Structure 1
Amino acid sequence: MVSLNQQSGGGFNSKQTYLFGEFSIKMKLIPGNSAGTVSCFYLSSGDDDYRDEIDMEFMGNSSGQPVVLNTNVWANGDGKKEHQFDLWFDPAADYHTYTIIWNPENIIFKVDDNVIRCFKRYADLAYPNSKPMSVHATLWDGSYWATEKGAIPVDWSQGPYTVSYQSYYADACVSGGSCSAGSDSWMNQQPDSAQRGTIAWAEKNYMRYDYCQDGWRFPQGFPGECIRN
């Protein structure tokens, strides 16, 4: 369990660093009014300006509104690759499984058994494929950004806020070491036809933001992968 109050947030991270793997965790998010909070499950190579990072960020809501899942990929300090989805269930009512599959070909994001996004690698574009990353889970105050673009801050009178975690799983290649015995299951994994169908379903019914549709943000032209996907 990780808590957030007005003084500080919280989190934990893996002792190992990894270069490719399958990572999942079960989370039960903040019930009721969680506006302004950000609950995260992510991989990161560090805090420097040239970091690699793969994010699943759950942006809190006012009571009765959907929780937004923000997925993002950073390569050599270049991010701005967000796909955001309204969750189609109450993520505070029970535990749900959130998964990141990271291999040399693509990054796959899953909610329970549903693949909702695939970020593909292109040889001439930046992709996180050389910097070992550790696994993190955090809960922090994102009042300036998280809910309705920062319009609704954290209501500290309803805190402390808590997120519960269980069943962390990593089947991965340890940096400087060997890959796990099960690495064949994810090292070359790409979405099959059924999984491409769930991506289309999520995009059609629950996507609220796609960076490849945000012309205001990219007035000089969209990132290269947008044209090819």
Structure 2
Amino acid sequence: MHSYPHQPKIHRIYGGPSISLFIPRVLPHSSMHKPVFITFFNFWSQYAFNHLVLFVSLLIVCSSLPSLFCLPFMAPIFSLFLSFVMLSWSIAQGQGPPSPGYSPSTSVRTVKFDQVFRNLWGPQHQRADQDSITIWLDKTSGSGFKSIQPYQSGYFGAAMKLQPGYTAGVITSFYLSNNEDHPGNHDEIDIEFLGTTPDELYTLQTNVYIKGSGDGNIIGREMKFHLWFDPTQDFHNYAALWTPSEIIFFVDDVPIRRYTRKSEATFPTRPMWVYGSIWDASTWATDNGRYKANYNYQPFVGRYTNFKISGCIAGGPASCRPPSVSPSDTGSLSQQQLAAMNWVQRNYLVYDYCQDPKRDHGQIPEC
């Protein structure tokens, strides 16, 4: 649940509500030598809006002038406006990832919250029913829940909906950990949403810790993503599939990251519990701690439902196997799934620890 101190700076320009284009650009003050991304949110829609304003302005002016005088100006401007509207619409229709061709979550049954989880802390800051749970953070406390049993492997997913507006410094998470069993020497598989300011995008941080690499001498394995949708508008499914050979992170059944087992030293193998939490991480969560949690905007709320848990319980039968990641049941992603994952990483990946020149690559040999 920690973060590596050298995080990329993401610069964004906003123009509207529906389209996101990412244009790589090296910034001299960036902490990264690789390209970071300027996000032009609804870049073409802004052009369409500007031309609409110009068209209406000329229409008002021309209402008091002879029509023949205005026609040479009005026609091309209106034509440009229409073309930008059509281009904006066509880009918006194709901004999601290509179909992965298979949905692992369909092979995992939905479980009721109280079948699998119990409150861990902040009971006065959570409201649960059989199917879902809402947790919140205010200046007095956050909240968290924990699975009843630890798991050795499996598929662990939940549908989550995040709070809009100012959420800087706030972490909303769904993850696996054994930090209570191995304090100072624990493992983790993280799905964390880093809080943001109203003019910025949410960042989904995926992370893996192995045997204490998140304690003291931090050795995080972060990959960070923006999303092709607004995670505050509706519930979306987030999951991690942990097998003896790899960890795969999913968003709405689209694989976004695969972390393979290259050695025992770089892969978590000890049993872990499943957690969800909301808490104040102002020291690092948003722009390296530049923006803190502001409790004038409290409460900060995280909503979870549609829990999909299918795992091999620690100490259970040796014959237990986690769900298949692909339709072929070969234990590896299909070519169509790989194509979808590569598309996400080309378009929405904003940080990769393996590409960070400030990292000590002797500590992350899997890179």
Q: TM-score, normalised by structure 2?
A: 0.58
Q: Secondary structure at the match of 1:93?
A: coil
> Which portions of structure 1, spanning 4 or more consecutive aligned residues, are displaced by more than 6 angstroms?
179-182
The CA deviation at 1:221 is 4.4
The gaps in structure 2 that reach 5 residues or longer are 1-133, 214-218
Paired residue type of 2:267: Y
Distance, in Å, in 2 between the alignment partners of 1:87 and 1:148 is: 18
Question: Is 2:343 the partner of 1:208?
Answer: no
**Which amino acid is the alignment partner of residue 286 of structure 2?**
T
Partner of 1:75: 210
Structure with greater strand percent = 1
In the alignment, the residues of structure 2 paired with residue 134 and residue 112 of structure 1 have an alpha-carbon distance, to the nearest angstrom, of 22
CA contact (8 A) 1:43 1:55 kept: yes
Give the Cα separation in 1 of the matches to 2:253 and 2:162: 18
Unmatched 5+ stretches in structure 1: none
Aligned match of 2:339: 197
C-alpha distance in 1, partners of 2:282/2:187? 24
Distance 1:191 1:144 in 2: 37
Does 2:234 align with 1:101?
no
The separation in 2 between residues aligned to 1:68 and 1:30, in whole angstroms, is 13
Instruction: Say whether the 8 Å CA contact 1:172–1:180 is kept in structure 2.
Output: no
Q: 1:184 to 1:80 in 2, by over 3 A?
A: closer
> Which structure features the higher share of helix residues?
2
* Offset, 1:178: 3.3
In the alignment, what sits opposite 1:136?
Answer: 275
Match of 2:146 in 1: 13
Amino acid at match of 2:200: Q
Q: How many residues are paired up?
A: 224
Distance 2:176 2:295 in 1: 28
Relative to 1, partners in 2 of residues 1:165 and 1:179: Cα closer, same or farther, differing over 3 Å? farther
Whether the 8 Å CA contact 2:312–2:320 is kept in 1: the answer is no
**Alpha-carbon shift at residue 124 of structure 1 (Å):** 5.6
The Cα RMSD (Å) is: 1.9
The percent of aligned pairs where both chains have the same amino acid is 38
SS in 2 for 1:152: coil
Aligned residue runs from structure 1 range 15-54, under 5 A: 15-47=148-180, 48-54=183-189
Of the three residues 113, 124, 131, the one matched with 2:253 is 113
1:183 deviation in Å?
Answer: 3.5
Q: C-alpha displacement at 1:8, in angstroms? A: 1.0
Please, what TM-score do these two structures have when normalized by structure 1?
A: 0.91
